[in-house]
């Protein structure tokens, strides 16, 4: 299917791996020009770089960084049509999951909101004028099912993502009449480095449960989270939804939330 993205300009944060990397690859294959934002350049992202994919190194914990990487789109490609706020999860240096509300300190809460919400606010603030210059565009925010089904684990993360969901609705209401569509994609557990890397969520859960990483990824985590499909999602499955929402084919879709969660959420 042609998503009619040829020539459009996108900024994708958290682009070095996982969902962000899959989004960059998908948009590029559809003909978009992409500013791929990440703190580090991974070999996988480096393989995508070229005339239409440019790496913008940035630490989004720096308050000036979101605006700078959005401005890079105008510098490199003359404007902006698509903003994908994908960077999120544990702030640099933090390890999740946290098993109790009592675990994170005030500084932990501040860092979580800086990375998962305030960086998004700053990127959107920078992007809106550029999108309006083009007569509109689209913003896709990557949230989490944790925002809708919080529990004892990661209370700070769930709260930040709930704020992102509210932000998306508010932005859609204000800027939709001016041609800017804003939608949210909420993944459940996705087989990314957040889970699989050394010291990641699978290792933390394995240590807590007396298990091992592979068993957590294939059996324990799907059972704990009551995943209907019995498996974690793949990054590409999330990226496909993001690309469709970025496309003019979704011209009448705004203020919506799309869930890619292996059946994690059970409520209507």
Catalytic residue list: 157
Name, in order, each residue with C-beta under 8 angstroms of 118's C-beta and a sequence gap of 6 or more: 63
Are β-strands 257-260 and 53-57 bridged in parallel, bridged antiparallel, or unpaired? Answer: unpaired
What's the number of CA atoms in the CB half-sphere (13 Å) around residue 55? Answer: 19
Whole-angstrom distance, CA of residue 180 vs CA of residue 138? 5
Cα first-last separation, the chain: 30
């Amino acid at each position: 299917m042609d998503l009619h993205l040829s020539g459009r300009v996108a900024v994708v944060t958290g682009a070095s791996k996982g969902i962000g990397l899959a989004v960059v690859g998908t948009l590029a294959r559809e003909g978009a020009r992409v500013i791929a934002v990440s703190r580090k350049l991974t070999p996988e992202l480096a393989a995508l770089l070229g005339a239409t994919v440019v790496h913008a190194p940035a630490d989004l914990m720096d308050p000036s960084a979101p605006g700078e990487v959005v401005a890079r789109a105008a510098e490199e490609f003359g404007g902006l049509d698509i903003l994908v706020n994908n960077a999120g999860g544990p702030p640099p240096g933090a390890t999740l999951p946290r098993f109790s509300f009592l675990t994170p300190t005030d500084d932990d809460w501040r860092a979580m909101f800086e990375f998962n919400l305030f960086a998004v606010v700053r990127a959107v603030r920078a992007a809106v004028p550029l999108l309006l210059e083009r007569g509109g565009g689209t913003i896709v925010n990557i949230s989490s099912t944790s925002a809708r089904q919080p529990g004892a684990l990661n209370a700070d993360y769930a709260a930040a993502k709930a704020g992102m969901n509210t932000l998306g609705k508010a932005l859609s209401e204000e800027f939709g009449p001016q041609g800017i569509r804003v939608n949210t994609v909420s993944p459940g557990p996705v087989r990314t480095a957040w889970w699989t890397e050394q010291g990641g969520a699978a290792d933390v859960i394995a240590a807590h449960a007396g298990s091992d990483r592979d068993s957590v990824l294939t059996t324990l985590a799907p059972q704990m989270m009551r995943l209907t499909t019995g498996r974690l999602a793949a990054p590409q499955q999330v990226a496909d939804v993001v690309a469709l929402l970025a496309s003019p084919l979704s011209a009448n879709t705004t203020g919506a939330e799309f869930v890619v969660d292996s059946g994690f959420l059970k409520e209507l």
